[in-house]
Structure 1
Amino acid sequence: MRNALIVIDVQESFRQRPLWQLVDNPDIVARVDRLVRAARAKGDLVVWVLHAEPGSKGVFDPQSGHVRLIDGLVPADGEPVLTKTSHNAFTTTNLQQLLTAAGIRELTVCGIRTEQCVETTTRVGSDLGYDVTFVVDACATFPIPHRDLPSDVSNEQLLADPRTLPAAEVTRRTEYALAGRFATIRTVAELA
């Protein structure tokens, strides 16, 4: 076994936010599940990562009950489920030790938010010497508001602001930033 599929933050927390209505990939669960099934069939390690913000009293606080995989995704016996508190899956978990112990040299990454936790994990993984594949259509994200837009605006106000970065543009920029530098960009159809 040389490859590990890292599934990042495909968790109920995101579905509890109004912004979920603007997710760019509503089929994220089906696409991730397809990758997971293919990885298992090849004998690859599957690692599940969840994001937590203990004490925040928000949807990422473990006390909320939402820091769990979205329905339809179920780890198999022996598949690690790690909980992180940073934007990448390495810094606040034992992911690197787990991968080293398993002899993993290649990573396939997918999950939620394309430009945040998934991209950051990809960059760190590459810097640590892993050969990383970023599965662009097994990721999901949302439009990003301009830094000056108040945080409590409605989805309609977010979309109406001409400074908002559309989700498709976020994904496109992530692909450009990662390709040839930190990762190989692939699609689910190419891998599963």
Structure 2
Amino acid sequence: MQRPEDASLIRNRPFNPKRTCLLLIDTQNYVWNDNVAESLPGFDATVRQTVMPNLQRLVASFREVGAEVMYTVMENMTRDGRDRSLDYKLSQFFIGKDSWEAKVLGALAPGDDDIVLPKTSSGVFNSTNIEYLLRNIGIDTLVITGFLTDQCVDHTVRDAADRGFYPICISDACATHSKERHVNALAAFAGYCQTLTTQEMIGLATRSSSARE
């Protein structure tokens, strides 16, 4: 039975740019490059035709309304990667410190005042101080995008929900290596977040900006 004080708690909340952060997960050269495009043509087509244009639209929209834009990248903190999680070591994920593979994709380049968080685990809440930063900034809503839907995006959605944030996943601004995996992941973590399209998210942001004018 629902407690009386829980009746006002809903996922579909008004957009507040001061309390909302757009998070781009692992949108970096390691994840999408010419070699990846050649070996995973379906993934490449999805990123090139849908995800990248949508991410660019979202970044522009969030900047326009004055909302926070933040990035994560997989990147070793040490030269030999000894700081990586056990899973990253077992999976042989080695993204060198300050390497080209660790850089955010040029088409999504961070602004000079954006936060970029290097991480060495799938879950950004596990291997960075993102929660501390979001609390300091006053963020309670995390708009989650990027790669891969069934790995780092999935971890972030679930962890954000468990830590008392309102996660929103943008379904057409994230991707994984197959359509089936993407669809299955969205369904698997749907109970932890609100799921919107890029157009729906931009609509919320635009309407909120117009209402304040």
2:109 is matched with which residue?
A: 74
Unaligned 5+ residue runs, structure 2?
1-17, 82-91, 203-213
**How far, CA to CA, are the matches of 2:128 and 2:142 in structure 1?**
16
Matches within 5 A, 1:177-192: 177-179=188-190, 181-192=191-202
2:143 is matched with which residue?
A: 108
Q: 57-66 or 6-15, which moves further after superposition?
A: 57-66
Matches within 5 A, 1:32-181: 32-53=55-76, 55=80, 60-62=95-97, 64-142=99-177, 167-179=178-190, 181=191
The one-character-per-residue Cα deviations of 1:129-180 (angstroms, maximum 9, x if unpaired) are 11110001001210xxxxxxxxxxxxxxxxxxxxxxxx1111111121122x
What is the letter of the counterpart of residue 135 of structure 1? I
Q: Is the 8 A contact 1:25 1:141 kept in 2?
A: no
**How far, CA to CA, are the matches of 2:154 and 2:98 in structure 1?**
27
Q: 1:26 aligns with which of 48, 58, 66?
A: 48
**How far, CA to CA, are the matches of 1:60 and 1:7 in structure 2?**
18
C-alpha RMSD of the superposition: 1.9
Larger relative helix fraction:
2
% identity of equivalent residues: 28
Q: Is the 8 A contact 2:122 2:152 kept in 1?
A: yes
Counterparts in 2 of 1:59 and 1:33: CA distance versus 1, 3 Å:
farther
Report how far residue 58 of structure 1 moved: 6.5
Q: Is the 8 A contact 1:29 1:70 kept in 2?
A: no
Q: How many pairs were matched up? A: 167
Counterparts in 2 of 1:11 and 1:20: CA distance versus 1, 3 Å:
farther
Unaligned 5+ residue runs, structure 1?
143-166
**How far, CA to CA, are the matches of 1:83 and 1:77 in structure 2?**
16
Counterparts in 2 of 1:64 and 1:102: CA distance versus 1, 3 Å:
closer
What is the letter of the counterpart of residue 116 of structure 2? V
**How far, CA to CA, are the matches of 1:119 and 1:42 in structure 2?**
27
Does the residue aligned with 1:12 lie in a helix, a strand or coil?
coil
Report how far residue 186 of structure 1 moved: 0.7
What is the letter of the counterpart of residue 28 of structure 2? Q
What is the letter of the counterpart of residue 71 of structure 2? W
Considering only CA atoms, is the larger Rg found in Structure 1 or Structure 2? Answer: 2
Counterparts in 2 of 1:58 and 1:132: CA distance versus 1, 3 Å:
closer
TM-score normalised to the size of structure 2?
0.72
